[in-house]
Structure 1
Amino acid sequence: MRLVVLVLILAGGGALAGAVNSSQPDLAWLSVLASVLGMALLAVDRFRIRAVPALAKPKPEPGLVVIRAEPGEERSNAAALADPDAEVLVIDERPRYHVRTCDWVGDRKTMALVLREARELGFTPCAYCAPNATLASEIRRP
């Protein structure tokens, strides 16, 4: 749909340039027609996109586990300040390590690892619970 609108915009621009260069008002009206048609198609597409998710939203069955998207990687300078002997949680087949209070972990089955070992195994910090910053702040507390 957007490709069609792009083609209409380009055609309208070409028609407008042709109208200016050749002094033919009919080409200017062709430009206006292409622009109006493109706007109409964009409006139809917007309403179609808004209407579909509301109708097609599935309701989870009781007892069904809904898997939320994997959190991103923590972007913090606190990695060097975190205690390498602190305990973190990892989930099998998932790339992130977490602190015990991470809400994203929820009821998933976790394994406890030492932070140093989790890093050596290639796990990266969760952006949701920010384990590096959390562990670094625990060291600074008296």
Structure 2
Amino acid sequence: FENFLSASEILKKLGIINKAYLMIKPPFLTEKEAIHDAINSAKSIENIADVISFNPMTVHKNTLVEYLWNKGEYSPPWGWSIIEILKETAKLRPDIICHPVAFGRSRGPKNCKSCNREIEKRILEFSINNDVKILEYDCDCKKEWEEELMKF
């Protein structure tokens, strides 16, 4: 973190935009922990970064994440978790963006087949204009996500 702060100071002095990338749901975090981690991380750099880009974890070949995923010990984040993070951080000073990769696929963030496309569309639209109203949406699978948050 100290390196990030030092580099940010240099960028600021040079007038260069500072874009910070924050991962959503790295290995070993529960869904609930991942939400809190992303929100708290964004708040900690609110006055440092000019743009915060949330990057939901995806499963790539020959990685620790793939190993854990194959053993059933990891799953990419829910789309609902991304929505929650964006809602909670939308009022922060920097621009908040998120461009999920492989949304709706087994190795990427997802909800259910009924709402995957709509949720992805709303996340991308939010990234353009930071309007929280765009993130208001409901689907039956949201209850499953809420139940998962209560497990731990």
With normalisation by structure 2, the TM-score equals 0.19
